Structure 1
């Protein structure tokens, strides 16, 4: 079987800063991030011949619009991709490995809409004036359990089935908020205590305000090239070691059989089969945290502990002095603050943080000797994904 292991690298990264409310357009944020990523890679604009990306609520910025805005002269591959970010990364990796193009920019944008566009959508016939989501759902589907409705229901199922409490859930946002304090780009950096979490406004039982990611405006972009091309560029190449995606036969919240049969387990098994590195080998762990229950369950699905034991496992790996999770006393979990504190990025912020860590550019939150990272963008159902990224040699800082 042909393997793409370590054949493609992330050679450039760019970001349009995250904020709770930016006075700009989605296209402006995308182009800012893409231009920064191209400059960071050291490639000329003319070298970019692939464009992959999209967005969430609005449908995002179409690749053709990006090509036009940047004046890219010769593009031989493009693809619109829904989030999470591994959709775009996998598309770009395959295109580069196949020789379809040589340098692909992958972008992802997050854009909070004012009420005005929602009212405009009502005139176009969307139910109750509510916008379609990036995953093809609408807020008004009477049969669905999309978003917070579905994850709250499954979080309740988890707590009941395994005899756990919200104290387990609290460890995820508490860890992420502590880590966000070291990230100047995080939108939520105010310290949070256990009492703050437990007294927070309940959104959908058992998930409170701090169990759900923070809506933001912003964008991320990545330039991918072959590993050979990357070796001659000025930045430290970060190799795409393995990628995986997964669904079960019924990948919808209201049809999923149980917590042991979700896309998260399918993805974990597929990634394990493709990767030479696993949970005891990586130096940074970046689990997706669009909802805290997704992260809690990831520790179990990826084999850190058994079903229902994530809370106990995290307490065993809790550094009391630092007030955060440190696996085996050294491996941080979402050192940038994740979606719960840096900002909800559908996984693009996690990829950026992995690249920054593996380059040795993370400043005060840098992991000493970071050589590999495990990421699990996406949730349980129709969008479970994962990646292992690595650098050629360990870094000493």
Structure 2
């Protein structure tokens, strides 16, 4: 690891001071802008600030264009904005841009937002109408419809998932444990869209989308939005809600950051991101009270556990089974650390990590209700996939 990667001057100096949400649903029947504004106004109010005190805006939707920050500035009537950025998901991009803006002095209080809108309906219908195969991505994930090559989205992850199962002589039950754990968490989350209990038999009988990944291995398309307010820790201590400190951030990409160009799973963007995050953090994986591995595809969660050192390569399924709490139908690492207690992308709804970030903030503020993890003080999040958008976040309670 390059020693420069261990520098972390922003450690605990920037905080999330407010959050808001426009509830997820399979179809909200509202415009994307309306949902963004609902979440944004709630976040600003939660931070105890006014529109006049927000001088930075970072956001975008799942689609390549999403909702432009200028539209949000206008709709909210923010009078004096000194920093803005339109970013692509996952949510680590948004948070990193906001943290850097506050740390540099470019802005004092940054509104961060992310929205999802008509992903499942319009994206798949557009592909079908154009005669495109399922794997072609048109959803702002770093690729565009004009690229006639590659293994994107379900196609790429299904291929790598199959290679994983073959390499380590594993079976689909490993993926199923991720799906079952998410559904158990969602059962305690009134805001989740998929709350019905899921058995392993249900999982194994799920409709196959692209071998070996079935419908329960892929995140649930939803309408909705999340928003956060990021400011200095010093200023956040004067806000109504308990601030949550941004302890460390990372991103990761290799020389071949595409699904079809990556040579093996031994060195991916997630590998780079995990090494950088752990080098920058004072906390190790044993210090985490709640874990949020990304689960846009169940396979990503298994790789996260192995890449971050919870277990050896090929052993994530055994790790999940070893830490399975039968009475609660979910994973509790060492009997205390839950994984995605809100349901994650597979059950709460596909939010490109925004829902994971919201739940982490709620847990560290002790505001998670029935899902609350006792005395939660630190959270580890790994938004994004394995290739071109891997990220890591460590948060601490103030």
Which residue number in structure 2 is paired with residue 162 of structure 1? 168
Matched, 1:89 2:95: yes
Classify 1:221/1:158 alpha carbon distance in 2 versus 1 (closer, same or farther; 3 Å): same
1:315-353 deviation per Cα after TM superposition (whole angstroms, max 9, x unaligned): 110011111100010000000000000000000000000
Q: Which moved more, 1:110-119 or 1:15-24?
A: 110-119
1:319 corresponds to 2:319? no
| CA distance in structure 2 between the aligned counterparts of 1:363 and 1:341, rounded to whole angstroms | 18
**Distance in 1, Cα, partners of 2:120 & 2:376:** 41
Q: Deviations over 1:126-182 (max 9, x none)?
A: 996988321342356332101000000000000001110001110000000011000
Query: How far is the alpha carbon of 1:57 from its aligned partner?
Result: 2.4
Q: CA deviation at 1:120?
A: 9.1
Q: Compared with structure 1, are the counterparts of its residues 85 and 186 closer, same or farther at alpha carbon in structure 2 (3 Å cutoff)? A: same
Following TM superposition, by how much is the alpha carbon of 1:261 offset from its aligned partner in structure 2, in angstroms? 1.2
Name the CA shift for 1:277/1:65 in 2 (closer, same or farther; >3 Å). Answer: same
- What is the root-mean-square deviation of aligned Cα atoms in Å? 2.0
Q: 1:120 to 1:346 in 2, by over 3 A?
A: closer
* C-alpha distance after superposition, 1:29-85 (max 9, x if no partner): 001000000000001111000000001125210000000000000000000010000
Aligned residues: 390
Do residues 27 (structure 1) and 33 (structure 2) align?
A: yes
1:201-280 paired onto structure 2 within 5 Å: 201-280=207-286
Partner of 2:334: 328
Distance between the aligned counterparts of 1:95 and 1:217, measured in 2? 29
Q: TM-score, normalised by structure 2?
A: 0.94
- SS of the residue corresponding to residue 195 of structure 1 reads helix
Structure-to-structure mapping, 1:103-182, within 5 angstroms: 103-112=109-118, 132-139=138-145, 141-182=147-188
Provide the secondary structure at the position in 2 that maps to 1:161.
Answer: helix
1:328-382 deviation per Cα after TM superposition (whole angstroms, max 9, x unaligned):
1000000000000000000000000000000011111100000010000000000
| Residue of structure 2 in register with 1:357 after alignment | 363
Q: Note if contact 2:60-2:113 (Cα within 8 Å) is conserved in structure 1.
A: yes
Which sections of structure 1, spanning at least 5 residues, go unmatched? 393-397
CA deviation map 1:236-278 (0-9, x unaligned): 0000000000001000000001011110110000001100012
Unpaired runs of at least 5, structure 2: 1-6
Equivalent in the alignment of 1:395: none
Whole-Å separation in 1 of the counterparts to 2:100 and 2:160 = 34
Q: Is the 8 A contact 1:118 1:131 kept in 2?
A: no
CA contact (8 A) 1:16 1:29 kept: yes
TM (normalized to structure 1)?
A: 0.95
Q: Is the 8 A contact 2:59 2:94 kept in 1?
A: yes
Q: Which residue of 2 aligns with 1:69?
A: 75
Q: CA deviation at 1:3?
A: 1.2
Q: 1:69 to 1:168 in 2, by over 3 A?
A: same
Alpha-carbon contact 2:252-2:273 (below 8 Å) kept? yes
